[in-house]
Amino acid sequence: MATVVEGGRDPSGAVTPRPQAPVSGPELANTPLVIRRREDEETVVTFPYLVWREFLAGLAAFVFLMLVSIQINAPLLQRANTSITPNPAKAPWYFVGLQELLERFPPIMAGVAFPSFVIIFMILTPYLDRNPSRRPQDRKVAIVLFTIYLCLAVAFVVIGEFFRGEAFNWDWTLILGHPGLSSPV
């Protein structure tokens, strides 16, 4: 929480009123000139406190990726061949949700209307959400709506990636394996 005070502050802590300069727009007139932190809010120097943490996080990410890269090779199939269509042909995993939508809805809805709607809605989010509070208990509607959106997005990607087999038909065997075989094929 920050306490907004008008005017500058001299080293003794007293607030000196700042002469009102002519401003053009209402936004400019309302811009807080000094943001003073409350005394009970504990602050730290970013260097080295924060920079050290960032370094450790980066190092951990690097080590993790290095181990993964040593162990698991990036996929490389046969040379590209337009006359051999793999079955199923799938988009990259983050677009597989979109492919799954196309399977269920008319193309104009799934390929155009839904994605445009999501992007426009995302851009407008801060302007549509007029609730000034950031506390979770005050924003139940926003949190529920966003959670539904996230769950749907993840669900469509998971279905497209793990439950769609030949010709993009529903296929349990991708994760469950064939009955009678000991391991998934």
Partner 1 sequence: MSATPDQANPVRAFVAQLWGSVFRHGLPTNDKVAARTALTNFFLHIHPVRVKKSAVRVSYTLCLGGLSFFLFILLTITGLFLMFYYIPSVDSAYQNVKDLQFVAVFGDIIRNMHRWAAHAMVITVWLHMARVFYQGAYKPPREFNWIIGTFLLLITLLLSFSGYLLPWDQLAIWAITVGTNMAKYAPIVGPYTRYLLLGGDQVAQGALIRFYVLHVIALPLIGFLLMVVHFWRVRKDGFTGGL
Q: Which helix (H) or strand (E) holds 155?
A: helix 140-162
Kindly indicate which of the ranges 5-13, 14-22, 87-95, 169-177 contains the residues binding partner 1, using the contact rule CB under 8 A. Answer: 87-95
- Give yes or no for a contact between 58 and 137, defined as CB atoms under 8 angstroms apart: no
Q: Which of residues 11, 13, 22, 92 is near partner 1 by CB under 8 A?
A: 92
Q: Which of residues 113-152 bind partner 1 (CB under 8 A)?
A: 119, 122-123, 125-127, 129, 132-136, 139, 142-143, 146, 150
Residue with tokens 């193309």, as numbered in its chain: 107
Please state the closest distance from residue 182 (CB atom) to partner 1, in A.
Answer: 28
Q: How far is the CB of 14 from partner 1 (least distance, A)?
A: 21
167 in contact with partner 1 (CB under 8 A):
no
Among 3, 16, 69, 169, binds partner 1 (CB under 8 A): 69
Q: Between 19 and 47, name the residue whose CB sits nearer to partner 1.
A: 47
Q: Are strands 8-9 and 2-5 parallel, antiparallel or unpaired?
A: unpaired
Which residue do the tokens 């509070």 mark?
Answer: 133
Between CA 156 and CA 26 the distance in angstroms is 45
Does the protein bind partner 1 through residue 105 (CB under 8 A)? Answer: no
| Under rule CB under 8 A, residue 183 binds partner 1 | no
Q: Is residue 3 near partner 1 by the rule CB under 8 A?
A: no
Among 65, 144, 151, 175, contact with partner 1 (rule: CB under 8 A): 65
Asked whether the beta carbons of 2 and 34 are under 8 A apart, the reply is no
Among 45, 167, 181, 185, binds partner 1 (CB under 8 A): 45
Pick 63 or 176: Cβ nearer partner 1: 63
Please name the residues in contact with 87: beta carbons below 8 A apart, sequence gap of 6 or more: 166, 167
Q: Give, in order, the Cα–Cα distances in Å from 133 to each of 91, 122, 124, 136, 140.
A: 40, 19, 18, 8, 11
